């Protein structure tokens, strides 16, 4: 009896995990598609670190949480910011120095692992977000893959297929168990 209860508990747990995985993957993929890139959860954006310029603060392949900023002029030396370098490139570096005026600051940025500051100062209006201190190593590779067409297809379809396969196996076992009981009842009623 204990073995049957354990099997039911394991079966329920596996089904729940697969279902949560499917819903999570759909959420991550849809969130990244709708935001035009990185997922956006509870007002935080998750960026993938694609270079080693900020090591050891965060490693290549990590994801970092950044909080979007409305007022880029309230930043100070030492803040780690995400900014638009040009129309296509976003960079996350530390503010090395603040130049200009309070109303029109220019930020001199530098990657922690770089020898020299960045060549161009960053205008306040080009600052998109500030690093929150939250980093998850190596998950960025996964997120980067998830944003590709192949990754999207795989991460939405694979958990669904696994859930369907597991459901088919569970249903097949249930039918097999019912057939076994019917055969037992049929044999015992003819013996009497």
Q: What is the pLDDT of residues 10-48, one digit of tens each?
A: 878 887 887 777 677 667 666 665 655 566 677 788 787
Domain with 60 in it: what CATH number? 2.10.109.10
Residue 60 lies in a domain: yes
Identify which has the larger pLDDT, 62 or 24: 62
Res. 61 pLDDT band, cuts 50 70 90 = confident
Range of the domain at 120: 35-169
Domain assignment present for residue 10? The answer is: no
**Per the structure, how many domains does the chain have?**
1
Please write down the long-range contacts of 137-140, taking CB distance under 8 Å and 24 or more positions apart.
137/58, 137/59, 137/61, 137/62, 138/59, 138/61, 138/62, 139/61, 139/62, 139/63, 140/48, 140/49, 140/50, 140/60, 140/61, 140/62, 140/63
The closest of 85, 106, 86 to 96, measured between CA atoms, is 106
- pLDDT higher than threshold 60 for residue 117: yes
Which of 11, 31, 35, 51 is flagged as catalytic? Answer: 51
Is 192 a residue whose pLDDT tops 60?
no
pLDDT tens, position by position, 158-187: 777 877 888 888 888 888 888 777 777 766
In a domain, 98, yes or no: yes
What mean pLDDT comes out for the span 90-111?
88
Residue 11 known to be catalytic: no
Residue 47 falls inside a structural domain = yes
pLDDT of residue 149: 76
pLDDT for residue 45: 80
On whether residue 7 sits in a domain, the answer given is no
pTM of the entire predicted model: 0.59
Residue 84 belongs to a domain: yes
In a domain, 6, yes or no: no
Question: Does residue 175 fall inside a structural domain?
Answer: no
- Confidence tier at 139 by pLDDT (50, 70, 90): confident
pLDDT mean across residues, the chain: 80
């Amino acid at each position: 009896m204990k073995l049957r209860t354990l099997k039911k508990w394991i079966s329920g747990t596996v089904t729940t995990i697969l279902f949560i995985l499917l819903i999570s993957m759909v959420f991550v993929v849809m969130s990244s598609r709708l935001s035009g890139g990185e997922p956006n959860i509870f007002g935080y954006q998750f960026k993938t670190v694609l270079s080693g310029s900020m090591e050891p603060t965060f490693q290549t392949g990590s994801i970092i949480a950044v909080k979007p900023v409305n007022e880029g002029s309230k930043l100070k030396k030492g803040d780690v910011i995400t900014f638009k370098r040009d129309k296509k490139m976003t960079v996350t570096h530390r503010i090395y120095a603040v130049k200009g005026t309070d109303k029109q600051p220019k930020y001199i940025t530098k990657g922690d692992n770089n020898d020299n500051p960045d060549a161009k100062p960053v205008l306040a209006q080009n600052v998109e977000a500030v690093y929150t201190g939250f980093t998850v190593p190596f998950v960025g590779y996964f997120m980067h893959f998830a944003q590709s067409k192949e990754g999207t297809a795989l991460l939405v379809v694979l958990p669904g297929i696994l859930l369907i396969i597991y459901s088919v196996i569970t249903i097949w076992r249930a039918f097999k168990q019912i057939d076994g009981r019917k055969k037992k009842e049929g044999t015992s009623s003819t013996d009497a």
